[in-house]
Amino acid sequence: RTAKLPTADSELRKQLDVEAKLIGKAAMHAKLQVIDPVAAARIHPNDPQRVQRALEVFALSGKSMTQLYEEAKTEEIPYQKIKLIIAPRDRGVLHEKIAQRFKLMLQQGFVEEVEALYRRGDLTVQMPSIRAVGYRQVWSYLDGEINVEEMQELGIIATRQLAKRQFTWLRRETDAFTFYTEEGHVFERVLEAVQQRISE
């Protein structure tokens, strides 16, 4: 079950932003180590967005993010859970699909979508929504920091890095059924596995 984390608080985030500018990223991470050493070990000091969120959760709930996740794990789920992982076995295939997808997004107007947000004037690259993969790279292009070729290359690289982190997370799901797309007939194999698990 997903942990029930408190919703973002704009005033608190402003306070944390000010504090981060005053004492620096390393000191903010050190604060997190005291509050939630497990989360601090997982979150890099150079990831101020996630450090801030963990500090925010503690300030709003009085509980660390790790504690909230642990409490959620202990709650019983009233239905059977079947985990399915569907992915290419060959990372080269995945990388090619990621590149194709990002190029298709550009063809379908992704730059124009981000440009509309850029021109609003009330958004900045510090916001989580703009720091998302793809958006951040297009924003840098619109800011004139990189050219269009660099934007495309960096967007693809960032997506690959995200996929790598997702695979690291999926490797921990030892009780999941894994299906490789290269082997074909994925739907039929998934359906068979689900029916088998239900009948057990």
CB 88 within 8 A of CB 97: yes
The predicted pLDDT at position 169 comes to: 85
Question: Which residues are CB-neighbours of 49 under 8 A, at least 6 positions away?
Answer: 128, 131
Query: 84-170, which class in CATH?
Result: mainly alpha
State the Cα–Cα distance between residues 24 and 11, nearest whole angstrom.
19
Identical fold at 10-74 and 84-170? no
User: Residue ranges of the domains in the chain?
Assistant: 10-74, 84-170
DSSP 52: H
Q: Can you give the pLDDT of all 200 residues of the chain as single tens digits? A: 566 788 888 889 999 999 999 998 889 999 999 889 888 888 988 889 999 999 999 999 888 988 888 887 766 667 778 899 999 989 999 999 999 999 999 999 999 999 999 998 888 888 877 888 999 999 999 999 999 999 999 999 999 999 998 888 888 888 899 999 988 899 999 999 999 888 87
**What local confidence, expressed as pLDDT, does residue 113 receive?**
94
Give the CATH architecture of domain 10-74: Orthogonal Bundle (1.10)
Q: C-alpha 96: how far from its chain's center?
A: 21
Q: Does the reported pTM lie above 0.75? A: no
